[in-house]
Amino acid sequence: MPAGAGIGLRAQHHFDVLSASAVSWLEAHAENYFADGGPQVDALLKIRALHPLSLHGVGLSLGSTDPLDTRHLRNLRRTVERFEPALLSEHLSWSSVGGRFANDLLPLPYTEEALRHISERVAQVQDYLGRQILLENVSSYLEFACSRMAEWEFVAGVAEQSGCGILLDLNNVYVAAQNHGFDPHRYLNALPPATVQEFHLAGHARIDCNGRPLLIDTHGAPVCAAVWELYRTALLRFGELPTLIEWDTDIPALDVLLEEAEKANSIRADVNAVAA
């Protein structure tokens, strides 16, 4: 992957991306391209011919206690074979049980049982796909009373037990830290540097819940100043890694995303200059 920051690809930008020379690389939601054919698939094939690509799954429900969805896995493998992404990622979460899907990224309890369960499933998926996947930490709005370890210990444990890499979403770290009252730097300091292979950056919303603020991971706003600072810290700890700007709701013009990517590039250059 190039060092320059990439952007999340959304259908609204398919045409613009084909002629945008400033795009460094792109990340697409894998499920959006599961179709047998058609305009979406054609567009991504054309884009893939011009730009490096990462595929990011949102529907595998890796932490679920249901059996792995073999049809979804087959579709994912076909999509990976079709587009040959440089990076492939999913989420450290679950979204289904009893055959019903919430189609949202639900948090796991940080227990030994959950750690063992999701690590085994991630290893199965990697065996099936014949490649390593990256797992992204998710934003969360609740904590389970039964958790027996910190989120960062759980994330590091899954990477160790399954052999997967970590896609470190710095906005998600910040959102969880604000919602649950921990220091986000503690999170970063606990992750083994070799396991982190990609960064995500995005915006969030702040809602008021009876006088108490709750941050919601909307992907619908610019990256906030505190997350840019966290990015600076992450670059110092984990080094120069592929960095992605995500924007999924109230999607602005491509130029706005490219400006955010340029801001990430500028911070990376600053950090490199200081380190030198």
Secondary structure class of 53 (helix, strand, coil): strand
Contact residues for 94 (Cβ-Cβ < 8 A; gap 6+): 61, 62, 63, 64, 65, 106, 108
Closer CB to another protein, 91 or 200, in the complex: 91
Q: How far is the CB of 173 from another protein (least distance, A)?
A: 17
Distance CA 196, CA 144 (A): 25
Per CB under 8 A, which region of 107-115, 120-128, 227-235, 255-263 contacts another protein? Answer: 107-115
Q: Does 216 bind another protein (CB under 8 A)?
A: yes
Nearest to 187 by CA among 199, 173, 166: 173
Work out whether 251 is an interface residue with another protein (CB under 8 A). no
Beta carbon nearer to another protein, 180 or 186: 180
Q: What is d(CA 236, CA 230) in angstroms, rounded to the nearest whole number?
A: 10
**Of 92-100, 121-129, 164-172, 228-236, which part binds another protein (CB under 8 A)?**
92-100
Under the criterion CB under 8 A, does residue 45 sit at the interface with another protein?
no
Stretch that binds another protein, among 90-98, 154-162, 167-175, 189-197 (CB under 8 A): 90-98
Cα–Cα distance, 244 to 5 (Å, whole number): 6
Q: Which amino acid is at 52?
A: P
Task: Report the residue from 50, 97, 149, 205 that binds another protein according to the rule CB under 8 A.
Answer: 97
Q: Which of 3, 106, 224, 241 binds another protein (CB under 8 A)?
A: 106
21-23-28-32 Cα dihedral, nearest 10 degrees: -40
* 25 token code pair: 């690389």
Stretch binding another protein (CB under 8 A), from 38-46, 189-197, 238-246, 264-272? 38-46
Q: Are 48 and 79 in contact (CB under 8 A)?
A: no
Residues that bind another protein (CB under 8 A): 31, 34-40, 42, 57-61, 64-65, 69, 71-72, 75, 94-104, 106, 108-109, 111, 113-114, 117, 141-147, 180-181, 209-210, 212, 214, 216
